[in-house]
Chains A and B, each alone.
Chain A
Amino acid sequence: MQHVRILRRQVVSTVAAAILMGAGWAGVAFGFEESPELKALVDAGKLPPVEKRLPKEPLVLTPLESVGTYGGTWRTATFGGGDSEIERSIGYTRLVRWNPEWTEVIPDLAKSVEVNADATEYTFILREGTRWSDGEPFTADDLVWWNENVLRNTKITPAAPNWLTAGGETVKVEKLADDKVVFKFAAPNGLFLMNMATVRGSDILAAAPAHYLKQFHKDFNPDGIEALVKAAGATDWVQLFNNKIGFPGRWRDLGRPTLDAWVLTAPYNGTTQVVAERNPYYAKVDTAGNQLPYFDRITIDVMQDTQAIILKAISGEIDMQNRFIETTDARTVIVQNQEKGGYGLFIARPAWSNALLITLNQTHKNPALRAVFSNKDFRIGLSYAINREELNQLIYAGQAKPYQAAPREGTALYDEKMATQYLEYNVDLANQYLDKAGLTKHDAEGYRLGQDGKRITFAIDALTGSPIQVDALEMIQRYWRAVGIDMQPRPAERSLIFSRLQNNENDGLGWVGGGGYDFLGLLDPKWYFPHEYESSFATAWGLYYQNPKDPNAQEPSSAAKKQMDLYRQVKEAPTLEKQLAAMKELLAITRDEFYVIGTNLEPDRVGIVKTNMRNVPKVIPSTSFYMTPGPAKPETFYYQQ
Chain B
Amino acid sequence: MAGFIIRRLLYMIPMMFAISVVTFIIIQLPPGDFLTALTARLASQNETIDPSVIAGLRERYGLDQPWAVQYWKWISGILLRGDFGQSLDWNKPVSELIWARMGLTMVVSVTTLLFVWAVAFPIGIYSAVRQYSVGDYVATFFGFLGLAIPNFLLALVLMYVSAQYFGQSTGGLFSPAYINAVWSWAKLGDLISHMWIPVVVLGTGATAALIRIMRANLLDELNKPYVDMARARGLSEIRLLLKYPVRVALNPFISTVGWVLPHLVSGSVVVSIVLSLPITGPLLLNALFAQDMYLAGTFILLMSMLTLIGTLISDLLLAWLDPRIRNG
Interface residues, chain A, with chain B CB atoms under 8 Å away: 75, 80-82, 84, 157-163, 165, 199-200, 233-235, 239, 242-243, 246, 249, 252, 266, 269-273, 275, 299, 301-305, 307-308, 311-312, 314-315, 317, 350-352, 463, 465-466, 493-500, 502, 512-513, 524, 532, 534, 546, 623-625
Contacts and interface: CB of A to CB of B under 8 A. Distances in A.
A505 B53 CA distance: 24
B242 to A, nearest CB: 43
B176 A317 contact: yes
Contacts, number: 155
Interface string B38-59: 0111111111101111011101
Contacts of A499: 31-32, 36
A312 B91 contact: no
Contacts of A272: 172, 174, 179-180, 278
A157 B272 contact: no
Contact of B92 (A160, A233, A513): A233
Contacts of B90: 81-82, 270
B43 A534 contact: yes
Contacts of B59: 158
A609 B238 CA distance: 62
Given A351-B46, A496-B30, A624-B45, A246 B51 contact: no
25 contacts: A82-B90, A159-B56, A162-B50, A233-B96, A234-B93, A243-B91, A246-B91, A249-B91, A270-B283, A272-B278, A273-B176, A273-B180, A299-B176, A303-B276, A304-B272, A304-B286, A308-B170, A308-B275, A311-B163, A311-B170, A495-B289, A498-B39, A498-B43, A499-B31, A625-B47
B274 A307 contact: yes
Contact of B169 (A246, A312, A351, A495): A312
Contacts of A512: 46
Nearest to A317: B169
A199 B47 contact: yes
Contacts of A242: 91
A368 B179 CA distance: 59
Contacts of B169: 312, 315, 317
Contacts of A199: 47
Given A246-B91, A494-B44, A312 B171 contact: yes
Nearest to A494: B40
B198 interface: no
A495 B37 contact: yes
Nearest to A340: B164
Nearest to B274: A305
Contacts of B92: 233, 243, 252
Contacts of A80: 286
Contacts of A463: 44
A162 B273 CA distance: 37
Nearest to B95: A233
A80 B37 CA distance: 15
Nearest to B37: A495
Contact of B32 (A160, A239, A498, A624): A498
Given A301-B179, A534-B43, A502 B36 contact: yes
